[in-house]
Amino acid sequence: MTAIRVGVAGAAGRMGLSVCGAVDGADDMTLAGQADPALGTTLESILGDVDVVVDFTRPDIAQGNSELCLAAGVHVVIGTSGFDQDAVAAAAAASPSGARAFFAPNFAIGAVLMMRFAAEASKHMKKAEIIELHHDQKLDAPSGTAARTATLMEGDVPIHSVRLPGLVAHQEVILGGLGETLTVRHDSLSRESFMPGVLLAVRRVADQPVPFLVGLEHLLFPA
């Protein structure tokens, strides 16, 4: 089997470093490129050497990076939230070589299960609210995970965002019914929790049935 050649955009960041380590440790992948201003490398400089780019940059950079990858015929797995999804979907649909784009608001498998359980519970409970807690360097609020969870649930679900040092990524969904409450919570205690999901997306992006796919649940629970 030919190893998947993976490039990482945002390679010098906290998530980027974790992705580089995970790719380097995967038997079926090769870390073929690292793009980051801190490393003095650009995305353009690595595109000719990679099959898939994993983007963990910033919301204002991720869209352009994704469009650049798709135009060059390189698949892209996006871990940055807060970008214009419609623009990336259009770029994927227009890719001359059929390159695919995949975005997950959260790559932790436990977080995907949390969203699935919350969506199912919302069919039976009267109201719900979401509290999402992240480190104080996270730029977008609400988080992509919280926004995705609310979209999957029944009814209007308010979201409360907390940004504090010492946190990684945490979310609880509190549902209320007649004389009872139900809380579904997920905690990522380290960035390692996201790596199995990232590697799964890298392995599957080339074969996904649509140009732009959102949500790790489609890979964990295929229809």
Please tell me whether residues 178 and 148 are part of one structural domain: yes
Task: Let me know if 138 is a catalytic residue.
Answer: yes
Residue 135 annotated as binding site: yes
Confidence (pTM): 0.86
Residue 75 annotated as binding site: no
Structure confidence by residue, pLDDT tens digits, 127-156: 999 999 999 988 789 998 999 999 999 999
DSSP 59-102: HHHHHHHHHHHHHTT-EEEE---SS-HHHHHHHHHT-TT---EE
Range of the domain at 141: 109-189
Please tell me whether residues 164 and 126 are part of one structural domain: yes
Please tell me whether residues 168 and 210 are part of one structural domain: no
Structure confidence by residue, pLDDT tens digits, 176-218: 999 999 999 999 999 999 999 999 999 999 999 999 999 999 9
Please tell me whether residues 52 and 157 are part of one structural domain: no
pLDDT value, residue 81: 85
CATH number at residue 182: 3.30.360.10
CATH number at residue 41: 3.40.50.720
Looking at the structure of the chain, the number of domains it has is 2
Of residues 84, 83, 65, 85, the one with CA closest to residue 75? 65
Please tell me whether residues 56 and 98 are part of one structural domain: yes
Catalytic residue among 124, 126, 134, 218: 134
Please tell me whether residues 130 and 25 are part of one structural domain: no
Please tell me whether residues 75 and 133 are part of one structural domain: no
